[in-house]
Amino acid sequence: MNGQNRSSIQIGSEVAVVQKHHQRTGELTEGIVKRILTKSATHPHGIKVMLEDSIVGRVKEILSS
């Protein structure tokens, strides 16, 4: 699943995010969602989240809910 809909992402979900400085290369980082930072219901580039290890990025793929 892609990460464009806020309703499909929960705290504790395992996701793959792209960090701001990796947007050009598309390098993904996997982790567990600690906080959901985007307030709107959808975002075309992915919902912004903070992972448990404090990495902030936009969700490109939801690995498990």
6-64: CATH, from 1.10.10, 2.60.40, 2.30.30, 3.40.50 = 2.30.30
Query: Are β-strands 48-51 and 14-18 bridged in parallel, bridged antiparallel, or unpaired?
Result: unpaired
Mean model confidence pLDDT for the chain = 96
Question: For 34-65, what is each residue's pLDDT tens digit?
Answer: 999 999 999 999 999 999 999 999 999 999 87
- Phi/psi of residue 12, nearest 5 degrees: 100, -10
Q: Report pLDDT for 13.
A: 96
Dihedral sign computed on CA atoms, order 36, 38, 41, 44: negative
Q: Where are the domains of the chain?
A: 6-64
